[in-house]
Structures are given as C-alpha cells and as structure tokens.
Amino acid sequence: MSTSHAEAEVDMTQPASLILKAGTMKIHEEVEKSKGATHLARGELDREEYIRCLMMFWHIYHSLEEGLAANANDNVLTPTYNPALFARASALSSDISFLLGVSDDDSSWKTHPTHQTLISSPSPAFRAYVSRLTHLVEEEPRRLLAHSYIRYMGDLSGGQVMKRNIRKAYGLVDKQGTAFYDFGVTGSEGQSKPFTANMGEVRRIKEWFRDGIDAGVGNDVGVKEALLDEATRAFVLHKNIFDEIKAPSPKTQKPVAWTPSSMPLGQELESSKAVSVRSVLAFMLVVGLARFIIVVGGLSGSQGYAKLEAVHAWIISTVPST
C-alpha cells in the first residue's frame, strides 16, 4: 500500500508521532464515522454481538502483544514496550468471562459457541487483520509499532468515553465487564502502578507513549514512512471489521401519542407554544393601549368608572383565548 498521498501532505522531518497523527487523520475520521464503529462506541450493539467483538479484539491484541514481546529488544519498539501498563488481552479475557458468566480464564469462554463459530468461520476482515499481524511478527516487526499506536492511543482516547457508554448500555457496575478500558498509572520511566488512571493520568500515559515513539524512531525517514504506511493499513483493517459488525436489532417502538384532534402530540405542542406566544404579545399590546386611554382620558367620577368598564370589556374581547 502506497503512502504517496499521505506523504505529500506530511512533513517527514517531523517526529514520528506527529507524522502518524497527521498522516492518518483522514482515514481515522472515516473509520470513526463508520456505522459499525458508531454502534460499538455508543453501546448500541446487541449484547451477544458486543461480546463477539471483544473476542475478535482479544485475538488481535493477543497477536499484537505476543509479537511485541518477541521483539521487545528491537530499538524501535523498546521505548514503548510496557506490558504491565498497556497489555489489553488479559483484561479483555476477564471482560468476556464476566459478560458470559463463566469462570475468569481463557479456556472457559473459548469453548463458548460464539467463539467456536468465530474461529471455525472467521469473517474475511477478522482473518485478514490477524494474518497481517502474524506476517509482521515474522517478517517486519518494527511495523507493529503502528498497530500499537492505533490501538493503545485509541483506547486511551475514545475508549474512555466508550467505557461510560458500555457500562450504561449493558447495565455494568464498577469495573466489572469493562476492565479493558482501564489503564494503570505511570511511575518513573513509564512503569505502571496498580490502580486505575484518571483523565489527567491518561494524558500523561499518552504523552509518555508519544515520546517513546519519537525516541525509538528518531530521524530515520525510512522507518517513518513504513510506520505511516502500516498505520494507514491498520485503519483500513479496522474499518473492514467495523463494516462487518451486525447492526443492532430493531428496538421496540413506542406508539405515537395522539390528541383528540388527531394532531400528533409534537405538532400540537408546537402549535400550543405558538398560540401562547401570540396571546402574551396581544395581551401586552392591549394593556399598553388601555393604559394610554386611561392616562389620557382620566378616571374621575361616573364617567371615569364607565370608561374603566369599557376598557375591561375591550381587553376581554381582544385577547385571544387558548
């Protein structure tokens, strides 16, 4: 896959983290706005389909993180390699187990029919993503950094919003079922502490990761070009998976409320609002005119009382009823 279009828009002398951000901005937005990604992020998927997505992501992270571990001594990968902080596969396994109501270990949920079907009949997009990672581990391990960038930075950014949506959508409390979205806190030299990061600490983790990318790549233009190419590939692989996600089942529609006049409730309310505004404006105008008449004509004696009665009758007849 060529990156000529992206490279024409990106200054390759910049740090690698900036190149990755700028060079993938367009495809990132396309993936983010895809229907599957939107349903997933909003917590709109059927529970079974959401679990199936977690299973696919477990295999993706498992392949990625095994590859990173096998190549942890590569000087491009070493600065960002911190499994205690970033590893997601184990957290995904816990979430899947909880959502399925089985014991918290890989062997339990992997025998579930949903996973058995996923493995026996993998979708083309899922198979392509895992195959790509397997190829990189064996042939081009440095390109794994692009996948780390997209996955971990995404989890640290939009994933934090998703966590709230997922908890609300599937009735989850505390951290049960959403461990995947929680990260530890960085200490000295990026080492994680055993408690969940708040939003300020998440920003620190992202800064540490970007700094690690820049330190590992340095000024090597060839590596920058390879990473930008691979990041673009990764976004396309993601989009293909999101495009294969099953749309949510139709929700039960509430009957439309109707008024005795057979006008839809929403329209009646709008009409009522319009009438109320007209009534207030008319009342203000009439009162102003009445005050003018009273001030000019006066209200003394029997004639004054007659004038007051006439003004009152005029007001009643002029203001529209609601």
Would you state the pLDDT for residue 130? 98
The reported pLDDT for the residue numbered 188 is 52
Tell me how far apart the alpha carbons of residues 241 and 229 are, in angstroms, rounded to a whole number: 19
Distance between CA atoms of residues 123 and 55, nearest Å: 13
pLDDT tens digits for range 263-312: 333 333 333 344 444 454 444 554 555 554 544 455 444 454 444 454 44
* Residue 4 predicted with pLDDT over 50: no
The whole-number pLDDT of residue 94 equals 95
pLDDT at 321 over 60: no
Please state, rounded to an integer, the average pLDDT across all residues of the chain: 81
Over the stretch 116-152, which tens digit does the pLDDT of each residue have? 999 999 999 999 999 999 999 999 999 999 999 999 9
- Residue 185 has which token pair? 């806190």
* CATH 1.20.910.10 domain residues, the chain: 4-244
CATH match of 4-244 with 1.20.910.10: yes
* Tokens coding 197: 């990061």
Higher pLDDT, 212 or 6: 212
Residues 182, 192 contacting (CB under 8 angstroms): no
Looking at residue 39, its pLDDT comes to 96
- Dist. CA 219–CA 28, nearest whole Å: 24
Instruction: Identify the top-confidence range among 58-62, 105-109, 313-317.
Output: 58-62
Give the per-residue pLDDT at 270.
39
Res 302: pLDDT: 46
How large is the average pLDDT for residues 43-48? 96
**pLDDT band, residue 159 (cuts 50/70/90):** confident
Of all residues in the chain, the percent with pLDDT exceeding 90 is 64
pLDDT-based confidence at residue 54 (cuts at 50, 70, 90): very high
Among 2-11, 155-164, 226-235, which stretch is predicted with the lowest mean pLDDT?
2-11
| Sign of the alpha-carbon dihedral angle for 230, 217, 13, 138 | negative
pLDDT grade for 191, boundaries at 50, 70 and 90: low
Per-residue confidence (pLDDT) for residue 274, from 0 to 100: 41
Distances from the Cα of 33 to the Cαs of 36, 43, 75, 162, 256, in angstroms? 8, 15, 35, 14, 30
**Residue 238: predicted pLDDT:** 97
Tens digits of per-residue pLDDT, 68-107? 999 999 999 999 999 999 999 999 999 999 999 998 877 7
Going by pLDDT thresholds of 50, 70 and 90, the confidence category of residue 190 is low
What values do phi and psi take at 34, rounded to 5? -65, 155
Q: Could you give the angle at the alpha carbon of 51 between the alpha carbons of 197 and 252, nearest 5°?
A: 110
| Contact indicator for 321, 315 with CB cutoff of 8 Å | no
Task: Give residue for tokens 């502490």.
Answer: 193
pLDDT of residue 194: 53
The contacts found for 25-31 with CB under 8 angstroms, 24 or more apart, are 27/232, 27/235, 27/236, 27/239, 28/235, 30/235, 30/239, 31/235, 31/238, 31/239, 31/242
Q: What is the mean pLDDT of residues 161-187?
A: 88
More confident call, 287 vs 215: 215
Over residues 211-222, mean pLDDT: 98
3-state secondary structure the chain: CCCHHHHHHCCCCCCHHHHHHHHCHHHHHHHHCCHHHHHHHHCCCCHHHHHHHHHHHHHHHHHHHHHHHHCCCCCCCHHHCCHHHHCCHHHHHHHHHHHHCCCCCHHHHHCCHHHHHHHHCCCHHHHHHHHHHHHHHHHCHHHHHHHHHHHHHHHHCHHHHHHHHHHHHCCCCCCCCCHHHCCCEECHHHCEECCCCCHHHHHHHHHHHHHHHHHHHCCCHHHHHHHHHHHHHHHHHHHHHHHHCCCCCCCCCCCCCECCCCCEHHHHHHHHHHHHHHHHHHHHHHHHHHHHHHHHHCCCHHHHHHHHHHHHHHHHHHCCCC
